[in-house]
Amino acid sequence: MAVVVRPRASLEAADLGFALARAYWRPLFGAHSLVVLPLAAALALGLRSVGWTALVLWWLKPLYDRVSLHVLSIALLGRAPKLGETFAALPRLVFRTGLLQSLTWLRLTPTRSFFAPVLQLEGLRGRARARRVRVLAERESAAAAGLMFVCSTIELAVIFAGLQVASTFWNGSGAEFWKSAGGLGRASPELEWLELALYVVALCTVEPFYVAGGFALYINRRVWLEGWDVELAFRRLERRLRAAAALAAFALLVAPPLHARAADEPPCKADTPEDAGDCIDQVLKSPDFARTRKVEQWRLRAFDWKLPGSSGFWDRVGNVLSATWRVVAWLTLPIVLAILAVAIARGMQRVRPDPRGPPDDGGEVRRAFDLRPESLPADVVSVARARFAAGDPAGALSLLYRGALVELGRRFGVRLPASATEGECERIASSALEGALAQDFARLARAWLYCAYARRPPSGEEFERLCSSWSAGWGSRA
């Protein structure tokens, strides 16, 4: 994987998503822009209205988010997805990832990027999705809502910065420019289209980071819930995505327009998913989009609070509300930046590493389990039964499972890697043990997994059978 998967604090997890977006910025921002820019141009030409075009572009954000999430889910596995692979997956992203739900009753959810992988990557719908969301929302939901607020504020900052640059080159006074831009006066068509263009730039610049931050929060929550087995789940996801890309590449190759365009070229064979990706790159050639960088110069300008051209009560009310909104927007930006700076400073203090370094436990403490023999009680089964009777099935199964791991190393000389998951421990035990003892360990490991991660504790009879088998196998001294 491209990142180190481990439990992190919320701010650290969001920053990890930003780092992943920066590392794979070419496929991420390229795919996102190649979807947003043609759609924005088509809407502008079709609707002929700046306001309606901006509203539709804003409402269709879940569509662009799916393209960015598709790129990030593959980049997490350590390889940069190609543009051809992303566009070959567009039909599946539109029709098979719950896009209709995201564009209707889930559209205004403040934690949209945090819960989007549940629909797109896990494929859950209805009650199954609601149960999964409730589990995920127990942690990171506040950070996800804060992420949306910060990214929305940065979008506004990009738009206002572009307008400030434009005002220095505007043929007229600055006060008239800002009146028109703020809706206090009659805006020229050029200024309206400039505002739409700045919104599209802000959308292409900020939205991929918003998706990356929410995706990292989702991964961090999965790590806290399920341990290190999340990597195995993404490996299975990668195989499904590669198979879908191969099928989509085949459909593109047999399309008549593509055959006509590639008539003079040698045939492209797509026997494997890697060959399919190469074929897509040959067919879908997209030019790079040039970006213009301007230097902004800030100057304090006097603002005329007299509102000429107002006639009627409702016109005056509208002008006062527009002026109030503009003042609130300018006052909110420094407050938000100050709060963000304080939050980042406090977060850095919380996650600052200890200069003395982590304690050396000799590899005996793994994955929050203390595997030293002296950490176990003298009678493991009796203490486990007492915990189960007291209503703590997870603590009881944890004690039995930890005792089995200790005996596995003490009696059979098995060395478990520090990063071993429950599944890997079960495979190592099955190769080192024989007969009933291997089966008992497998049943105990699965009971612990169901109880700890799925919150499905065993019944009293099942727990009693686990205790009996533990006493007969691990409790006896060889």
Secondary structure of 234-283 as H, E, C letters: HHHHHHHHHHHHHHHHHHHHCCHHHHHHCCCCCCCCCCCHHHHHHHHHHH
pLDDT lower than 70: segments of the chain? 171-187, 227-236, 250-293, 300-317, 347-370, 418-419, 475-478
Give exposure, 16-36, as e/b (b: 16+ Cβ within 10 Å). bbeebbeebeebbbbbbbbbb
Look up residue 39 and give its two tokens.
């759609």
Q: What is the dihedral of CA 77, 82, 85, 87, to 10 degrees?
A: 130
| Cα 273 from Cα 79, distance rounded (Å) | 14
- Looking at residue 267, its pLDDT comes to 45
- Looking at residue 355, its pLDDT comes to 42
Three-class SS of residue 370? Answer: strand
CB count, 10 Å around CB of 420?
Answer: 17
- Looking at residue 281, its pLDDT comes to 62
Phi and psi at residue 365, to the nearest 5°: -110, 110
Closest CA to 80 of 12, 6, 29: 29
| Cα 86 from Cα 89, distance rounded (Å) | 5
Cα(first)–Cα(last) distance of the chain, in Å?
Answer: 41
| Cα 164 from Cα 177, distance rounded (Å) | 10
Place of tokens 């970006």: 291
| Cα 391 from Cα 401, distance rounded (Å) | 18
| The residue count for the chain | 478
Look up residue 330 and give its two tokens.
């300018």
Three-class SS of residue 64? Answer: helix
CB count, 10 Å around CB of 316?
Answer: 12
- Looking at residue 356, its pLDDT comes to 40
Cβ atoms of residues 159 and 181 within 8 Å:
no
Cβ atoms of residues 87 and 286 within 8 Å:
no
- Looking at residue 182, its pLDDT comes to 58
- Looking at residue 239, its pLDDT comes to 73
Closest CA to 33 of 247, 265, 220, 208: 208
pTM of the model: 0.49
- C-alpha distance from residue 93 to each of 245, 267, 301 (Å): 12, 28, 48
- Looking at residue 217, its pLDDT comes to 92
Closest CA to 230 of 466, 419, 369, 470: 419
- C-alpha distance from residue 316 to each of 1, 177, 179 (Å): 59, 20, 14
Cβ atoms of residues 158 and 195 within 8 Å:
no
- Looking at residue 366, its pLDDT comes to 40
- C-alpha distance from residue 406 to each of 392, 411, 418, 478 (Å): 21, 8, 14, 14
Beta bridge partners of 352: none
Q: On the CB side of 159, how many CA atoms lie within 13 Å of its CA?
A: 26
H helices within 289-434, ranges in order? 313-351, 380-389, 393-412, 422-432
CB count, 10 Å around CB of 4?
Answer: 7
Query: Which residues 6+ apart lie within 8 Å of 437 measured at CB?
Result: 473, 474
- Looking at residue 229, its pLDDT comes to 56
Burial of 446 (0-12, 13-18, 19+ CB in 10 A): middle
